[in-house]
């Protein structure tokens, strides 16, 4: 079986294809921005509104009362520094993005140390956003075509 396709008006065809490609790219860029920002917000919210944060204790100089997070849960917010240092960086072409935690102790909290079990906040946020990203990406391409 052979299928033959002949384009009668190539310039009109090219114009329509270019329009659809541009629409698809615009949809994908929006998807990247929206879902990446949601992952960032989820990470921040998990720190600031950790309902399972454990006991309180008094530490530091000057002395203040802080909440201690439970092993495996997001870290409990003390000063808000960790949450305020989670940033979204969108690539120049807007087809990718990074969510960065810039507090020096982020890695220790996320993965733990030999003295403390992990208090992950970035990976759970990413896992939560992954399903929505896949749905939105499929819709972005479908709507563009």
Residue 118 near residue 112, CB atoms below 8 Å: yes
**pLDDT tens-digit profile of 112-140?**
999 999 999 999 999 999 988 988 888 88
Question: pLDDT of 91-113, one tens digit each?
Answer: 999 999 999 999 999 999 999 99
**DSSP three-state, residue 88:** strand
Q: What is the pLDDT of residues 12-25, one digit of tens each?
A: 888 988 999 999 99
Q: In terms of Cα–Cα distance, which of 31, 52, 43 is closest to 94? A: 31
Backbone torsion region of residue 124, taken as left when φ is above 0, otherwise alpha when ψ lies between -120 and 50, otherwise beta: alpha
Distance CA 136, CA 99 (A): 18
Tokens representing 78 are 């003390």
Reduced to 3 states (helix: H, G, I; strand: E, B; else coil), residue 145 is coil
Spell out the domain ranges in the chain: 53-134
Predicted TM-score (pTM) above 0.85: no
Pick the closest to residue 86 from 76, 75, 98, 95 (CA basis): 98
């Amino acid at each position: 079986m052979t299928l033959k396709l002949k384009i009668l008006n190539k310039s009109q065809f090219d114009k329509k294809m270019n329009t659809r490609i541009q629409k698809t790219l615009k949809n994908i860029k929006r998807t990247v921005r929206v879902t990446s920002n949601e992952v960032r917000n989820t990470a921040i919210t998990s720190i600031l509104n950790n309902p399972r944060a454990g006991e309180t204790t008094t530490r530091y100089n000057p002395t203040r009362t802080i909440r201690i997070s439970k092993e495996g849960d997001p870290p409990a917010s003390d000063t808000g520094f960790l949450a305020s240092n989670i940033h979204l960086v969108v690539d120049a072409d807007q087809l990718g993005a990074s969510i960065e935690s810039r507090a020096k102790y982020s890695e220790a909290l996320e993965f733990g140390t030999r003295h403390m079990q992990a208090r992950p906040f970035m990976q759970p946020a990413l896992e939560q956003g992954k399903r929505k990203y896949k749905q939105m990406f499929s819709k972005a391409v479908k709507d563009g075509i």
